[in-house]
């Protein structure tokens, strides 16, 4: 290899358009909390809605850790006017005395310094376990807020300090006396950092409810006072003391994880009566597990480490799955329920229809990433495996009726898996023999590049014919559906693949299904559901989304599923043509003409009325020449209209399907698409006022 000279480096830099000077002055040093504002995603994951709510979780987690340590039992979160958030706990109160290293108050150190907190000293700091690991939580919140205030009630005094963009505005000072003890953190997220500063009440309530199950005997309240003009909280510890007439919810559970399992299974048909539960410590790892099987196909897991939700699971979940499968196989064989001729249960068999919560608490804990989505602590796997397998074996022996129900449920899953595999293999083999790689109904696109290919799933042959005529043949494929597809919420794979409609869709997607699903083989990176804007169209869309959520979740998570937004109206005013996607758009385009048309419509509805009819007709005649066409379905459009409004990438409106809260989505699908009629009726009655009806 030829020797590289300094001149070579300068030449490459010049060609790349970079500066040639690279010395000590080129190194940027970010001080204090500057790194957080420079790269917020490194600390909170995203500057979207999840990142915004992560600020609330970071502050709440500190209060929750006080409760986990036995120092607090009452926490309050309040949403205030001007996008401010206030979190209160009755814990020990953050220390306000001078820190020996920083020479300023410990409160100021914690609020303004990264990697400073009470979570590093273990039991010496009073935190046997905690969710905080890096010591960046509240300081990151402070850095990403235009304003923040810390208020500490301690030793009979009330201490305060305010901050702007993470910087203290004055030293910590004592502002009065107090009968309370605890900490109040208030902040206002920086609108220049986040995409939108808008807190989701339902999301916060769901998070708080979940945490209340995990921290037994702790009261957690949420108050929504955003609609009030002003809330003065000076000198007020809990806002509930003000008796504000605003939405609020309070959670308190003594049953812990048992109560959480009961909550998640409230709309399910349970497979066995008793909920399994264990809470035991092994090798300094506290293991708490609860589970119950239901008459369903989908497993539901909630995993926590030091009460932090681990969306991606981790070592504790691995330990749980391994112990569950091994223990059920052992019991099934010993009890003679699993015959010698039968093969062993697989992990998928053992997990089908289970609702489980796995929670571990440990002092030295390792997460993968600051957002703590996955537990990495190796010792958690061994502790969970040992504690759970021993406790489950005892549970099965002591509860023979539950044990038999569980083993029979898993045995049914084993038999169904084998039947589904045979059906799947038959479908694939049949397709290969007939040379039908793609279904005949599919009008495929010319390009083979998945990144630019689009699949429109349309309702009926009429819309399919129009879409095929109006599409861009190079990049857009059309798959018409005949009527409503099978509701797969309670259907196994063999029954699904017996449906011609679903089989066509599976083959068209190219990913296969079940254990051989491969996202890399997805043939279209935009799968667009385009159904009519009526009740039947909405039902078909829901059936398709149920199919995608239950069996093609990775396609949703990858951001490949979209819903087309065809226009509701076509308005012609003189020589101008407008397409409107909502009533608001329609009235905005019509402007003053909307009033005239309204009068004309009233006149046509009261033809038998007296003199007012002539006046209305006169006004209508003087109005500009306007025609309004209300679209009920895609089939009512001609090919050019469908292309211009719904298929042309330059003009169309698409909504990407995402799953922000998997547990909430699970429950909704269970209620709406499951077999519990009473729950579905109750849900519809409760949410009827939120529906948009086309009467």
Contacts within 8 Å (CB) and 24+ apart, 280-283: 280/387, 280/391, 282/383, 282/386, 282/387, 283/379, 283/382, 283/383
Q: Which of 155, 283, 449, 534 is catalytic?
A: 534
SS3 call for 679: helix
105 touches 98 (CB < 8 A)? yes
Q: Which of 89, 160, 224, 532 is catalytic?
A: 532
Query: Is 532 known to be catalytic?
Result: yes
- Our CA angle for 193, 367, 291, nearest 5°, is 110
DSSP code per residue over 428-446:
HHHHHHHT-SS-TT-B--S
| Strand positions, DSSP E, 234-389 | 248-251, 276-282, 285-293, 300-305, 308-309, 354-362
SS3 call for 102: coil
| Strand positions, DSSP E, 299-453 | 300-305, 308-309, 354-362
CB neighbours of 149 closer than 8 A, spacing ≥ 6?
160, 161, 162, 163, 184, 185, 186, 187
Q: Is 383 exposed, middle or buried (0-12, 13-18, 19+ CB in 10 A)?
A: buried
Q: Which residue has the tokens 């490194």?
A: 42
Instruction: Give the dihedral sign, CA 657/660/665/666.
Output: positive
| Residue 467 tokens, joined | 């879409």
479 touches 455 (CB < 8 A)? yes
Q: Which of 61, 89, 108, 459 is catalytic?
A: 459
| Residue 653 tokens, joined | 């409106």
SS3 call for 67: helix
Instruction: Give the dihedral sign, CA 9/15/18/21.
Output: positive
Q: Residue 561 pairs with which residues in a beta bridge?
A: 527
Task: Specify the pairing of strand 561-564 against strand 654-656.
Answer: antiparallel
Query: Is 279 known to be catalytic?
Result: no
Q: Which residue has the tokens 């409106």?
A: 653
Q: Compute the distance between CA of residue 615 and CA of residue 232 in angstroms, rounded to an integer.
A: 56
Q: Which of 34, 50, 536, 663 is catalytic?
A: 536
- Residues marked active site are found at 459, 532, 534, 536
């Amino acid at each position: 290899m030829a020797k590289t000279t300094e001149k070579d480096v300068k030449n490459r830099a010049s060609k790349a358009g970079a500066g040639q000077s690279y010395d000590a002055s080129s190194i940027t040093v970010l001080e204090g909390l500057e790194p957080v504002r420079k790269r917020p995603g490194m600390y909170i994951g995203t500057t979207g809605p999840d990142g915004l709510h992560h600020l609330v979780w970071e502050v709440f987690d500190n209060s929750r850790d006080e409760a986990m340590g036995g120092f607090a039992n009452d926490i309050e979160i309040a949403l205030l006017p001007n996008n401010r958030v206030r979190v209160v706990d009755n814990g020990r109160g953050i220390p306000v005395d001078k820190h020996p290293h920083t020479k300023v108050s410990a409160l100021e150190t914690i609020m303004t310094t990264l990697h400073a907190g009470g979570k590093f000293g273990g039991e010496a700091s009073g935190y046997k376990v905690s969710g905080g690991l890096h010591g960046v939580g509240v300081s990151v919140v402070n850095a990403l807020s235009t304003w923040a205030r810390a208020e500490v009630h301690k030793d009979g005094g009330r201490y305060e300090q305010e901050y702007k963009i993470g910087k203290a505005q004055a030293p910590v000072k004592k502002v009065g006396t107090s009968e309370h003890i605890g900490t109040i953190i208030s902040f206002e997220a920086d609108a220049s950092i986040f995409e939108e500063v808008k807190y989701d009440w339902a999301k916060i309530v769901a998070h708080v409810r979940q945490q209340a199950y995990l921290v037994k005997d702790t009261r957690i309240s949420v108050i929504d006072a955003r609609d009030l003009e002003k809330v003065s909280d000076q000198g007020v510890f809990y806002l509930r003391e003000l008796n504000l007439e605003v939405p609020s919810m309070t959670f308190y559970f003594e049953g812990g994880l048992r109560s959480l399992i009961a909550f998640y299974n409230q709309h399910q048909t349970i497979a066995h009566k008793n909920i399994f539960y264990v809470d035991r410590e092994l090798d300094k790892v506290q293991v708490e597990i609860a589970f119950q099987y239901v008459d369903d196909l989908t497993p539901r897991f909630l995993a926590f480490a030091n009460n932090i939700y681990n969306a991606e699971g981790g070592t504790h979940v691995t330990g749980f799955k391994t112990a569950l499968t091994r223990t059920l196989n052992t019991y099934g064989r010993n009890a003679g329920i699993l015959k010698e001729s039968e093969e062993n249960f697989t992990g998928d068999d053992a997990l089908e229809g289970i609702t489980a919560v796995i929670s571990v608490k440990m002092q030295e804990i390792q997460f993968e990433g600051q957002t703590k989505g996955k537990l990495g602590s190796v010792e958690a796997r061994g502790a969970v495996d040992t504690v759970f397998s021993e406790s489950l074996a005892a549970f099965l022996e002591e509860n023979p009726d539950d044990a038999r129900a569980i083993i029979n449920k898993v045995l049914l899953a084993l038999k169904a898996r084998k039947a589904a595999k045979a059906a799947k293999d038959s479908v694939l083999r049949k397709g290969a023999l007939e040379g039908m790689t793609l279904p005949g109904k599919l009008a495929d696109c010319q390009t083979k590049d998945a990144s630019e290919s689009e699949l429109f799933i349309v309702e009926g042959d009429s819309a399919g014919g129009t879409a095929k005529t109006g599409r861009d043949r190079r990049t857009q494929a059309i798959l018409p559906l005949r009527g409503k597809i099978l509701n797969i919420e309670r259907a196994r794979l063999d029954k699904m693949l017996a449906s011609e409609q679903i089989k066509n869709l599976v083959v068209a997607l190219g990913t296969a299904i079940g254990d051989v699903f491969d996202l890399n083989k997805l043939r279209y990176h935009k799968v667009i559901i385009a159904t009519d804007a009526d009740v039947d169209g909405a039902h078909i869309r829901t059936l398709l989304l149920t199919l995608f959520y239950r069996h093609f979740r990775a396609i949703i998570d990858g951001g490949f599923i979209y819903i087309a937004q065809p226009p509701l109206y076509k308005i012609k005013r003189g020589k101008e043509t407008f397409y409107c996607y909502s009533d608001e758009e329609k009235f905005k385009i019509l402007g003053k003409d909307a009033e005239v048309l309204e009068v004309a419509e009233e006149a046509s509805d009261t033809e038998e009325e007296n003199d007012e009819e002539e006046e209305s007709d006169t006004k209508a005649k003087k109005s500009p020449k306007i025609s309004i066409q209300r679209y009920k379905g895609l089939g009512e459009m001609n090919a050019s209209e469908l292309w211009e409004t719904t298929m042309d990438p330059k003009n169309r409106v698409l909504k990407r399907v995402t799953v922000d809260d998997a547990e909430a989505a699970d429950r909704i699908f269970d209620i709406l698409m499951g077999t519990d009629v009473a729950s579905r009726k109750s849900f519809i009655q409760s949410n009827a006022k939120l529906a948009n009806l086309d009467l």
